[in-house]
Amino acid sequence: MTSCAVSIRSILTSSTILTAAAFGLSAPAAAQDAEDESEADAGQLSSIIVTANRREENLQDVAVSADILNQTRVDNIFAAAGDTTALAGSVPGLNVESSNGRVAPRFYIRGLGNTDFDLAASQPVSVIMDDIVLENVTLKSFPIFDIERIEVLRGPQGTLFGRNTPAGIVKINTVRPSDEADIRGSVSYGSFDTVSLNAAVGRAIVEEKLAFRVSTQLQRRSDWIDNGFTGEDDALGGFTDFAVRGQLLLTPDEEKRFTALAQIQYRDLEGSSTFFRANVLGPGDNDLNANYDRDTVFYDAGGGNPAEYEQWGATLNLGYEFDGATLTSITGYYESEGFSRGDIDGGNLVTGPGFIPFPSDTQDSIDLYQFTQEIRLASNTDGPLTWQIGGFYFESDFDVSTVGFTFPPPVTVNHTNDAWAVFGQASYQLTEAVRLTGGLRYTDDEKDFFVVSGAAPQPVSVQDDQFDWDVSLFVDLSDDVSVYGKVADAFRGPTIQGRDVAFFNPPSVAQSENIMSYEAGFKTELADRRVRINGAVFYYTVDDPQFTAVGGAGNLVQLINANEGEAYGFELDTAFQITPNFEVTIGIAYNDTEIKDPNLEVGTCAQCTVTDPTRTIAGPFGPVVFASVDGNPFPNAPEWSGDLTASYTIPVGDDDEFFIFTDWVYLGDTNFLLYESLEFNAGSRFEGGLRVGYRANNGAWELAAFARNITSEDNVQGVIDFNNNTAFVNEPRVFGVSLGFDY
């Protein structure tokens, strides 16, 4: 890591954190804007703004199935210093998991995702932060703080947002600078010495001309996991994750036709990779057995399971409002560098636990840059017709190194990706109640691969160019009820996976996958905007879906294409303003996914109980078992998911209040791999959080107690299947207190 990172770490010592806590640097939930405050005063639900069409619109007026996480909800989700995977289940139909610790999360929407753990992995869910696509899996883990909202857009978004969005988008919008002075902060302390510190300051430098905003987050936890093999107590599990963002907003002319927003952000992570736990499932069922102890692992390798990453990015968003249209230019540059190492077998050859036929200790690292440029021209006049056209360019170049300790020898591979696109969308108000929208995008996507060192060069190139399109019809049946229908086509570009070169196998390639999606939905606001019920039903087919055959007795990670995938289901998002001081939201989603390929077989585990039809062939190290996966669900695609939140306040005088906020998520039965077995799946997973506190002076100060995973659930989040029944689990229960201010 660089000297800059070292100096930052030296500053962020425990004494610094405790000093900050003593001075009370903390922040409650951000104050609502004026419109939301007036709606709350009237006892109505707040309006929800989305940018699914690259412009701000009321969710009730957009033909998209979407759910929004506001800052209050996000602050509670990450109260115990959680990483990006804490978003799992917070929106119906959304799943997030990672086998790389606090980096390289994998996103799934409507059951469609990718279990590939390679640092070059491609995903069908795009993560976009402040209009910049975070394409690489390590960039997707950038900490989420000081945000205005997170939009989860379900279903294909290929027209305006590009390839690799067939499942949907997680769109993160941070708080922008403004002329209004804004000083806020938060500090919390909880179990395992868990500390979360947030601070933000912004105001005008030159009134109505130039404004700035600086925000930062520090998440820290002490080591809390014992190593039962070495006898060390509290030897593993700690982390320090620091991030900072600076922004400048320039609006030089009085009419504010020209705007320039410059942003730079940086992250420094020193922590732990995923803790794999050997033979904790079964045999013969998916229950955690006597080998499982949340507070203990039995490692003889992994070098302490470290993970260290540095990431930084810079963006420049320029806009000029002409008479009739607005021209926007968005430039982004990101770098990501770091590594994670782990005891992959999850134990040791002496005490296990359970039978471990051979050890596995590996480290993967990445050195990446990404550049993006988008130019867009959009109409800005009133009238029945709105339109936008644009172009997009994407370039990335990165090395991935895999090291085995002490076997196999190190291998470094290089990946490059160049893509460009042109796109357009138009919407026409056919009548006062009926609006027709259509979009078209042409994308050219090319990837190249070669081995830099440690093996033969083995160059591979893939390329594809396709048209994506969508069309929707939105109908207002009344002032309170609307319906819509949407048909969309999108694709995920071809992918190269080269990690297996380190294990004496050639790189694997998956060709493009193409989705055709059909969706119908409704939007309602009833009882004088005290009840909101939005719903959608969907059906989609995926030609040549990209999957990853992970593990198996041969310890392989290979990209494959199935012949077809099929899914259908529904989403229901509701909110109820029961009284002006009591609000409840409930979301439910159902996804039925199915792999359709009678000829597709994958390697299976060494010790689990496979329930699919199998075929055994002779291999160089003994028999190899293959399973037919036709008819199986997509990996990590729970059929049912849902969330519930409840917020209740008790006014004290004119300016103060007690408050209670609770949130719960549910993920139903989930198969983790392509093949089905008795061990490698999860039953229903249920987790909740609670926050209770006191706000003073109209939210200027807040003191609260909180808990995450309040019922202390032990939920399996994923598995490693190649040589024993290894799994990894969710975060432990954390109790804590927080103190905050917002001026």
Question: What tokens does 596 get?
Answer: 């359709």
pLDDT of residue 6: 36
pLDDT of residue 326: 97
Instruction: Flag whether pLDDT at 198 surpasses 80.
Output: yes
pLDDT of residue 555: 56
CB 633 within 8 A of CB 590: no
Instruction: Flag whether pLDDT at 436 surpasses 70.
Output: yes
Instruction: Flag whether pLDDT at 654 surpasses 60.
Output: yes
pLDDT tens for 391-401 read 999 999 999 99
Torsion of CA 130, 134, 135, 139, to 10 degrees: 180
Q: How far is CA 631 from CA 67, 342, 600, 637, in A?
A: 30, 34, 10, 14
Instruction: Flag whether pLDDT at 552 surpasses 80.
Output: no
Instruction: Flag whether pLDDT at 192 surpasses 50.
Output: yes
The confidence band for 723, taking pLDDT boundaries of 50, 70 and 90, is confident
The confidence band for 15, taking pLDDT boundaries of 50, 70 and 90, is very low
Q: Is the peptide bond before 406 cis (omega within 30 degrees of 0)?
A: yes
Mean pLDDT, range 435-448, rounded to an integer: 98
Mean pLDDT, range 585-604, rounded to an integer: 96
Distance CA 415, CA 397 (A): 6
pLDDT tens for 365-387 read 999 999 999 999 999 999 999 99
- Bridge partners, residue 341, by sequence: 363
Distance CA 26, CA 267 (A): 20
Question: What tokens does 466 get?
Answer: 């396709």
Mean pLDDT, range 119-139, rounded to an integer: 96
Instruction: Flag whether pLDDT at 272 surpasses 60.
Output: yes
pLDDT tens for 568-588 read 999 999 999 999 999 999 999
Q: What is the mean pLDDT of the chain?
A: 92
pTM across the whole model: 0.93
pLDDT of residue 605: 86
The confidence band for 205, taking pLDDT boundaries of 50, 70 and 90, is very high
Distance CA 471, CA 156 (A): 11
pLDDT of residue 514: 97
Side by side, the strands of the sheet bearing 168-174 are 65-70, 147-154, 168-174, 125-129, 132-133
Instruction: Flag whether pLDDT at 34 surpasses 90.
Output: no
The confidence band for 536, taking pLDDT boundaries of 50, 70 and 90, is very high
**Burial of 650 by CB count in 10 Å (0-12 exposed, 13-18 middle, 19+ buried)?**
exposed
pLDDT of residue 622: 72
Instruction: Flag whether pLDDT at 532 surpasses 90.
Output: yes
Distance CA 279, CA 289 (A): 8
pLDDT tens for 48-77 read 999 999 999 999 999 999 999 999 999 999
pLDDT of residue 553: 55
Q: For 175, list phi and psi in degrees, rounded to 5.
A: -70, 130
Query: Contacts from 505-508 at CB under 8 Å and sequence distance 24+?
Result: 505/556, 505/558, 506/458, 507/413, 507/449, 507/458, 507/460, 508/558, 508/559, 508/560
pLDDT tens for 465-502 read 999 999 999 999 999 999 999 999 999 999 999 988 98
Helix, strand or coil for residue 2?
Answer: coil
Q: How far is CA 305 from CA 222, 301, 509, in A?
A: 14, 8, 30
Residues 6+ apart with CB under 8 A from 459: 448, 449, 450
Q: Is the peptide bond before 92 cis (omega within 30 degrees of 0)?
A: no
pLDDT of residue 551: 66
Nearest to 377 by CA among 361, 358, 392: 392
Kind plus residue range of the DSSP H or E element containing 3: helix 3-11
Instruction: Flag whether pLDDT at 160 surpasses 80.
Output: yes
Domain ranges of the chain: 3-742
pLDDT of residue 407: 85
Kind plus residue range of the DSSP H or E element containing 682: strand 681-682
Return the percentage of the chain with pLDDT > 90, whole number.
Answer: 86
Instruction: Flag whether pLDDT at 27 surpasses 80.
Output: no
Give 364 or 15, the one with higher predicted confidence: 364
CB 370 within 8 A of CB 396: yes
| Count of CA atoms in the C-beta half-sphere (13 A) of 307 | 23
Name the fold adopted by 3-742.
Maltoporin; Chain A (2.40.170)
The confidence band for 503, taking pLDDT boundaries of 50, 70 and 90, is confident
The confidence band for 245, taking pLDDT boundaries of 50, 70 and 90, is very high
CB neighbourhood size of 222 (10 A): 14
Instruction: Flag whether pLDDT at 32 surpasses 60.
Output: no
Instruction: Flag whether pLDDT at 257 surpasses 60.
Output: yes
The confidence band for 285, taking pLDDT boundaries of 50, 70 and 90, is very high
pLDDT tens for 294-347 read 999 999 999 999 999 999 999 999 999 999 999 999 999 999 999 999 999 999
Q: How far is CA 161 from CA 165, 349, 357, 491, 737, in A?
A: 7, 49, 46, 11, 40
pLDDT tens for 606-626 read 889 999 999 998 876 677 889
pLDDT tens for 674-683 read 999 999 999 9
C-alpha radius of gyration, the chain, whole number: 25
Distance CA 741, CA 543 (A): 52
The confidence band for 92, taking pLDDT boundaries of 50, 70 and 90, is very high
